[in-house]
Amino acid sequence: MSETIYDTLIIGGGPAGLTAGLYTSRAKLNTLLVERMIMGGQVMTTTKVENYPGFPGGIDGPDLMMRFQEHCQEFGLQVQYGEVEGLEDLGDMRRVRVDGKDILARTVIITTGAEPRKLGVPGEQELTGRGVSYCATCDGAFFRNQTVAIAGGGDTAAEEALFLTRFASKVYLVHRRDQLRATSILQERLRENEKIEILWNSQVTRTEGDASGLKAIELTDTVSGEKRSLDVAGLFVAIGVTPKAHFLADVLRLDPEGYVLTDAECRTSMTGVFAAGDVRKKILKQIATAVGDGAVAAIMAEKFLMDQE
Ligand code: NAP
């Protein structure tokens, strides 16, 4: 039996990957989407998405992603679970290594997204899962009537701080500057919430705890350098994301932060390979832009295949 050569192999099942899959399957390209763990990407840890068009009043992240998947199923998108370990250009096709096995495809669309950045402070790793968390939606409910802190000043930190007030008695938002990066509507909601206190010019420099979990965090004033300890049961880290493109470092052009470099049509430095969504170097990371990227990458992959024939 001859080995299957897919028209398109998509790596990653978040909004960009599912959109690319929808487009290529609908265009009747033989498409396989490979997902490492859970379909839906970072949106799966978002409680409410308020800025994706078509859902007045907002929609829960997992619900939105379920709709994306159902939509792809309508067009017969094939899905395989596994970890992609490598990518190689064979000239007229690409070889993708998944869990030690090779899969061949004429085009590849990389939509692996990004993962939460770590603070890199003493105790953080040891206390992860025992007070230190990177996902308020996942772990917030463990901190009912307790005091928690959230590190970061962007949209994620603001949204997670607001979400945590459903459970925690007090939420400190620890930000290293005197101005938030979060959009003004979120800043307004933070100010209006009595449970939230913003600690300006403050950096978490240590986490303190024992086998039973996190007890306190050390805060360093970024202006005076002064240190103090703050008793908290939970620390949520929301200081941005880092792209999941390590496995591509030797084969594709990445920027210094590890994002995949593409042109405006989502072409990477390897022929027949495209990148879409948060893994790609770009200015705005939103579900709407990931969806836009996914569509562009899919259409460009289709065009590439037509040009080859
Ligand atoms: P982000 O916008 O990059 O913000 C990261 C925040 O963490 C910044 O305030 C930054 O401080 C701080 N930070 C970074 N490294 C730090 C460190 N080592 N120690 C302490 N603080 C640190 O990341 P994000 O909030 O995760 O958002 C990522 C993208 O998703 C953004 O484009 C965002 O707009 C988007 N997003 C949108 C929504 C929405 O539209 N509802 C929701 C979530 C995320 P500085 O400000 O000092 O740099």
> How far apart are alpha carbons 307 and 297 in whole angstroms?
15
Give the pLDDT band (50/70/90) at residue 46. Answer: confident
Tell me if 164 sits within 8 A of 237, measured CB to CB: no
- Digit-coded pLDDT (tens) for 247-274: 999 999 999 999 999 999 999 999 999 9
- Digit-coded pLDDT (tens) for 275-305: 999 999 999 999 999 999 999 999 999 999 9
Tell me if 150 sits within 8 A of 217, measured CB to CB: no
Give me the mean pLDDT over the 226-239 stretch: 98
pLDDT above 80 for 137: yes
**Residues forming the active site:** 135, 138-139
pLDDT above 70 for 227: yes
Residue 2: what pLDDT? 64
Ligand 1: residues whose CB is within 6 Å? 51, 119, 151-157, 159, 176-177, 181, 203, 238-241, 284-286
Which residue type, as a one-letter code, is found at position 244? K
Q: What percent of the chain has pLDDT over 70?
A: 99
Give the pLDDT band (50/70/90) at residue 39. Answer: very high
Distance 180 CA to ligand 1 centre (A): 9
Closest ligand 1 atom to Cα of 158: 25
Q: Which of 7, 19, 29, 6 is nearest to 276 (CA)?
A: 19
Average pLDDT, the chain: 96
Residue 1: what pLDDT? 52
Give the pLDDT band (50/70/90) at residue 309. Answer: confident
What is the second-level CATH architecture of the domain 5-115+241-308? Answer: 3-Layer(bba) Sandwich (3.50)
Give me the mean pLDDT over the 159-183 stretch: 97
Residue 256: what pLDDT? 96
- Digit-coded pLDDT (tens) for 179-220: 999 999 999 999 999 999 999 999 999 999 998 999 999 999
Give me the mean pLDDT over the 116-140 stretch: 94
Give me the mean pLDDT over the 20-41 stretch: 97
pLDDT above 70 for 109: yes
Task: Round to the nearest angstrom and report the end-to-end CA distance of the chain.
Answer: 24
- Digit-coded pLDDT (tens) for 53-93: 999 999 999 999 999 999 999 999 999 999 999 999 999 99
Tell me if 102 sits within 8 A of 56, measured CB to CB: no
Q: 15-26 and 287-308 helices cross at what angle (nearest 10)?
A: 40
Domain with CATH 3.50.50.60 in the chain: 5-115+241-308, 118-237
Closest ligand 1 atom to Cα of 284: 32
Q: Which of 59, 181, 283 to mutate to test the pocket of ligand 1 (most atoms within 8 A of CB)?
A: 181
Give the pLDDT band (50/70/90) at residue 96. Answer: very high
What is the second-level CATH architecture of the domain 118-237? Answer: 3-Layer(bba) Sandwich (3.50)
Six-digit token string for 116: 């939460």
